[in-house]
Structure 1
Amino acid sequence: MRFVLASASPARLSVLRSAGIEPLVRVSGVDEDAVTRALPAPSPTEVVTALATAKADAVVAEIAHEVPDGVVVGCDSMLLTPDGEIVGKPGTAEVAAERWKRNAGSRGELITGHSIVRLRGGEVTGRADGHLGTTVRFGEPTDAELDAYLATGEPLHVAGGFTLEGFGGWFIEGVDGDPSSVLGISLPLTRKLLAEVGVSVTTLWNKPSA
């Protein structure tokens, strides 16, 4: 059985590898804006769950013949800011700077959605999805520190404009909840969703060579 990660995120890949799983990586290519626009007045949790589901489904459609027995895992994360706005990747340094200045010294909630599709014999035999929130406590970088962080390019392409495992970790005071979800894939939630489709996570772990 293969674990298929429907994401190009290096952080998600690193989390899985560190936790004993070497996934097959396939990028969904989903138009996230189009998926979000199609949702009627969605809550933040509905947005991340819908995006995770769309990504998993897109990869299932492409990979069922290649991986007839496996699980496809889609993920999405967004930040619920202190003023109630739900935001994804900043995209530009200007947007990232504005968000950091607004969030500095406060708390936000990173909301992560996961969707798992079980394949047997190339057919979908099970689905499970879920979400969780993790509180992120932002530090207060100086203007010079923020400029240097923006110059790395890192915050432009990650949910909420920050990371724990990269340069951004210097400016995060702490997290309350599951830290792996802040890295993009919650190990506890993934384990529970795998169980819902009849898969024990331990069967997916890398086996040591004899």
Structure 2
Amino acid sequence: MRLVLASASPARLGVLRTAGADPLVEVSDVDEDALLAAHPDADPARKVTMLAAAKAAAVAGRIAGDHADTVVIGCDSMLLVDGELVGKPGDADTARRRWKAMAGRTGELLTGHSVLLLSGGTVVREAEGHAGTGVRFAEPTDAELDAYLGTGEPLHVAGAFTLDGFGGWFVEGIDGDPSNVIGISLPLVRRLLGGIGVSVVDLWKKEP
């Protein structure tokens, strides 16, 4: 059984590798902004799940010519704070504003997941869902925030923070699944795989 991760995220890849899997990586070309704009009234959980499903479907369509039995996993993460759903800030000014707004407060990191099973080049089963984890943010000093922004890390991650990188210094605690904050919920993926008839242990690397 081949495993494909439909994401460019090194953090998601790292979680899967640490947990015993060794997926191939195929980055989707989904226009996330256009998809969100087309569904302005969807609730936050539905938005991240739609994005994950679109990414998984795009990659599944790309590899459909290869008839090997394959599991494709798509994910998308965003941070919900005060009813506002935010993704990657993209620039330092946006990241700074977000940190000023969320410092000392709590947000919810939402990750949508989509799991597809391909057999004979066709999607034969699929499952999707989302996971939410509460994140309690510290209050970095201005100097600390300047230094953090200077690393470039918060510009390219959902909510402008990480748990497993420089950003971990500024997270006071979490309530829920830590792997979800990194970008892929292992417990949820295990359940979704079960829903399409795949045991997670079948995706673990086999020792030579």
TM > 0.5? yes
Q: Identify the residue that residue 173 of structure 1 maps to in structure 2.
A: 172
Q: Counterpart in 2 of 1:163?
A: 162
Which TM-score applies when normalising by structure 1? 0.97
Q: CA deviation at 1:67?
A: 5.3
Within 5 A, what are the aligned runs for 1:91-106? Answer: 91-106=90-105
Stretch moving more, 60-69 or 116-125: 60-69
Question: In the alignment, is the contact (CA less than 8 A) between 1:70 and 1:120 conserved in 2?
Answer: yes
Give secondary structure in 2 for the equivalent of 1:116. Answer: strand
Partner of residue 62, structure 1 = 62
**How far apart, in 1, do the equivalents of 2:67 and 2:83 lie?**
41
CA drift of 1:37 comes to 1.1
- The equivalent residue for 2:143 is 144
SS of match in other structure, 1:4:
strand
Show the counterpart of 1:22.
Answer: 22
SS at match of 1:130: strand
1:51 paired with 2:54, answer no
| Paired position in structure 1 for 2:132 | 133
Partner Cα separation in structure 1 for residue 32 and residue 44 of structure 2: 14
Q: Deviations over 1:38-90 (max 9, x none)?
A: 11401000100000000000000101223531111100011001x21110000
8 Å contact from structure 1 (residues 68, 123) kept in 2: no
Aligned length: 208
Q: Is the 8 A contact 1:3 1:204 kept in 2?
A: yes
**What's the counterpart of residue 71 of structure 1?**
71
Q: 2 CA distance for matches of 1:147 and 1:16?
A: 32
CA distances 1:148-197 after superposition (whole Å, capped 9, x unpaired):
00011000000000001110011001111000000000000000000101
The 4+ residue runs of structure 1 with deviation greater than 6 A are none
**Which residue is equivalent to 1:183?**
182
| 3-state SS of paired residue (1:110) | strand
Provide the C-alpha distance between the structure 1 equivalents of 2:184 and 2:40, rounded to a whole number of angstroms: 26
The answer to whether the 8 A contact 1:2-1:67 is kept is: no
Equivalence for 2:88: 89
Provide the identity percentage: 66
**Counterpart-to-counterpart distance in 2, 1:185 and 1:66:** 26
Unaligned runs of 5+ in 1: none
Instruction: Name the amino acid aligned to 1:187.
Output: L
Q: For 2:75 and 2:142, locate their aligned partners in 1 and report how far apart those are by CA, in whole Å.
A: 33
Equivalent residues of 1:89, 1:156 under 8 A apart: yes
Alpha carbons of structure 1 residues 24 and 67: separation in structure 2 relative to 1, 3 Å: farther
Structure 1 residue 8 corresponds to structure 2 residue 8: yes
- TM-score of the superposed pair, with normalisation by structure 2: 0.98
Q: Equivalent residue of 2:104, what SS?
A: coil
Separation (CA, whole Å) in 2 of partners of 1:48 and 1:65: 28
